[in-house]
Structure 1
């Protein structure tokens, strides 16, 4: 039945507005149909334990939650929840036939203005990243908290989330995360949490556990016509959305590190501390960056079990997962290092830049290229 629905929704007459072309994108939990001006997002009938879309009633509920929660940071993009109905021509987002499912209807955002692409192309400035950081800081300042929300910041609740992650990665020890690597990270996380229990509790007592976004990374930010859209927050599980504000901003910092832009990550956290006044946020940043990298690796690993995803994309997902787990370990290794300077030298074309880039990524540290620095000192464009 799902295949017939997908086939029907690739037809232009399945939509209430004029449509000339339809494109289907899949994540591990959603089918997203892109038309000329809109995006229709249908939740897959999956149950991962921490995420349960297995019934139509659940999917309807979480569609409504997705719209409600995302309108906090992205009010102009989320248009509402629409019904997917049966028609003589097949499934469609119009008509009066039986309801087959529900979808979130959004304005379509331009793919070439997504922040991950802009960062990859070098088409982003420190000023823009600081503006994004200010938006997040103000969002956190006004985000609600309560005794129930604050409970999610207690050390035992945080470790519950970690243990769930470790357990869910056991099936992937032959593909993306070897058992010894998983246990290395588990050992460090357990020790850190025990040694910093008072820090976690102080964050709770100081009111920094809020109903946050839960999924602020580069793919979920779009710069369009001067507007900054932060979209696709966590709607499916309160314990992932309700978290320390440090955990929320750490996701963006980790993703900038993943893309090799440690400089922009520094700009983001500097601005965040300045606007929020929360100097204590930095105490747990590395811990939460490790958490975010691990979760991204887990999500990419899940894609390997989705038969609807093409083999080529599964291979890319596997490689991304491995890189995220390496980044998580790199953060740990960096904390174990004394202040260290690595210098690479050699003949032209021998791989200095390649080695430096890989080392910087593995350890989560910044790298400097002397050719670029000399040009900067002389006022010459680095390109």
Structure 2
């Protein structure tokens, strides 16, 4: 059966199912979703785009079962079973007897208004939803299967293939010469960047960062169910597109948040994710994958347009979406200014709180010493180490090891082309000098934010602290105050001092660092 004949037969079947069940239909460039009562039935289109081949009934059956398997990892309550469609295209029956003429994935139906993409369109996304996303994705990535060294997944040549494949699909669908030139410029950047990063891509595979991921991690594939963010609709049709570097996965959500104008949330998400995983070296690949993901979204927009050319509304929306994502890709080819900020202050002074807020406002990465110290010594973030002052993970030797580790991570972020805030007490001059030298070596501006609060407020904050990686007590605070080495006159040129008992702390930070806004 030819592709045209198969598509005509499928259209007949879909129309018959629609007429018989009086259902609603959602159409994408690769599937139809029939909404019938409390359930949804997803039927794959008989299409072959090269990167995706649903051209035969057997292939569609196989990929229905793959869709079920992969999505049950994240949304077992939504994905029920694969059901046959029997009868004839003119008189089909879902789940009937006889030979299958098509297959569908049966799912629990949920309100489309609960999609996170809808929340974003209504400007209703919340930090709680972003926190849930970061925690869920980080946990997922740390537990899913890793690609073997002998598998084809994650090889730098294959990564380059899928990057370049976007241009092959996009270019024939462009008519504007300016957009064609823009696309050519992005491709030239991608070719150069891939040659620079190819060895790192191979090392990432050896280090276990190529995993059986979701593959299509954007807000349209996330929904709220009983107050919980639930991820669904994993890619199933091509393992090359979901056996990927975890940084490629998070880049997809990051670019989608940028697309909706949630720049601050994009950095909030990625900061929280990295604080869970510690994968700061992966940032060296972030821009490459961000541009790749923007191109994927641009390509999908044009493919949808090509399929529905008679619908002027769809065509305009697709062209507008293409322009947004192509412009994002172009902007990301330009490296931004980087800088190094360290915090300074006693426990309870507000360092972590305001470093977090500043990082997401100016598009920086916040690296927390409390988390990295525990990671170094194999403790979970909220796990109590049982260490006392100058013992366990808080000995002078452990602190030296921690600050050297923080320096390595800071250097990785700076070399990746991103600004970084190191969130630690930095009460010793030698600790501060280590990072001043790093900034000088990397040729970036260096700043110290000196956070202050009254003793009474420090005591109150420490005593009220809950669910935090810090194990500081009032006794620890007293030890810090006795042993701290004050900021020198030489250091003052790099210092901004803030009283965190005031209400305008973030405003003052943004006034000072506003030149670094994204």
Q: Taking structure 1 as the reference length, what is the TM-score of the superposition?
A: 0.82
- Other-structure match for 1:171: 172
CA distance in 2, matches of 1:200, 1:132: 25
Asked if the contact 1:149–1:211 (Cα under 8 Å) also holds between the matched residues in 2, the reply is no
Larger relative contact order (C-alpha < 8 A, sep ≥ 6)? 1
SS in 2 for 1:10: helix
Q: CA deviation at 1:339?
A: 6.4
Aligned-residue CA RMSD (Å):
2.6
- Other-structure match for 2:112: 111
Q: CA deviation at 1:328?
A: 0.7
- Shift of the 94–285 alpha-carbon distance from structure 1 to 2, 3 Å rule, reads same
Asked if the contact 2:12–2:89 (Cα under 8 Å) also holds between the matched residues in 1, the reply is no
- Other-structure match for 2:91: 90
CA distance in 1, matches of 2:205, 2:277: 16
- Further displaced range: 188-197 or 90-99: 90-99
CA distance in 1, matches of 2:178, 2:103: 35
Specify every segment of 5 or more residues in structure 2 that has no aligned partner in the other structure, as ranges: 1-8, 340-362, 364-417, 419-502, 508-518
CA distance in 1, matches of 2:70, 2:337: 43
- Shift of the 197–4 alpha-carbon distance from structure 1 to 2, 3 Å rule, reads closer
Specify every segment of 5 or more residues in structure 1 that has no aligned partner in the other structure, as ranges: 15-20, 341-359, 366-372, 378-383
Is 1:5 the counterpart of 2:49? The answer is: no
Q: CA deviation at 1:177?
A: 7.9
CA distance in 2, matches of 1:175, 1:94: 47
Q: How does 1:95-174 map to 2 (within 5 A)?
A: 95-147=96-148, 151-174=152-175
Asked if the contact 2:295–2:326 (Cα under 8 Å) also holds between the matched residues in 1, the reply is yes
CA distance in 1, matches of 2:105, 2:311: 24
- State the Cα deviation string for residues 322-350 of structure 1 (Å, max 9, x = none): 211111111113x1x5469xxxxxxxxxx
Q: CA deviation at 1:213?
A: 0.9
- Other-structure match for 1:209: 210
The number of equivalent residue pairs is 338
Asked if the contact 2:129–2:229 (Cα under 8 Å) also holds between the matched residues in 1, the reply is no
Is 1:255 the counterpart of 2:256? The answer is: yes
Is 1:192 the counterpart of 2:193? The answer is: yes
CA distance in 1, matches of 2:100, 2:111: 30
CA distance in 2, matches of 1:296, 1:115: 17
- Shift of the 187–5 alpha-carbon distance from structure 1 to 2, 3 Å rule, reads same
CA distance in 1, matches of 2:125, 2:199: 38
Which has the higher Rg, Structure 1 or Structure 2? 2
CA distance in 2, matches of 1:273, 1:74: 23
CA distance in 1, matches of 2:60, 2:150: 23
Q: CA deviation at 1:305?
A: 1.9
Asked if the contact 1:84–1:103 (Cα under 8 Å) also holds between the matched residues in 2, the reply is yes
- Other-structure match for 1:46: 47
CA distance in 2, matches of 1:26, 1:106: 16
- Shift of the 26–205 alpha-carbon distance from structure 1 to 2, 3 Å rule, reads same
Q: CA deviation at 1:176?
A: 9.8
Is 1:241 the counterpart of 2:242? The answer is: yes
- Other-structure match for 1:296: 297
CA distance in 2, matches of 1:176, 1:31: 34
Asked if the contact 1:150–1:207 (Cα under 8 Å) also holds between the matched residues in 2, the reply is no
Q: CA deviation at 1:220?
A: 0.2
Q: CA deviation at 1:152?
A: 2.4
Q: CA deviation at 1:202?
A: 2.5
- Other-structure match for 1:267: 268
Asked if the contact 1:175–1:318 (Cα under 8 Å) also holds between the matched residues in 2, the reply is no
- Other-structure match for 2:312: 311
Asked if the contact 1:70–1:232 (Cα under 8 Å) also holds between the matched residues in 2, the reply is yes
Asked if the contact 2:13–2:89 (Cα under 8 Å) also holds between the matched residues in 1, the reply is no
CA distance in 2, matches of 1:109, 1:177: 42
CA distance in 2, matches of 1:10, 1:167: 35
Q: Taking structure 2 as the reference length, what is the TM-score of the superposition?
A: 0.61
Asked if the contact 1:176–1:318 (Cα under 8 Å) also holds between the matched residues in 2, the reply is no
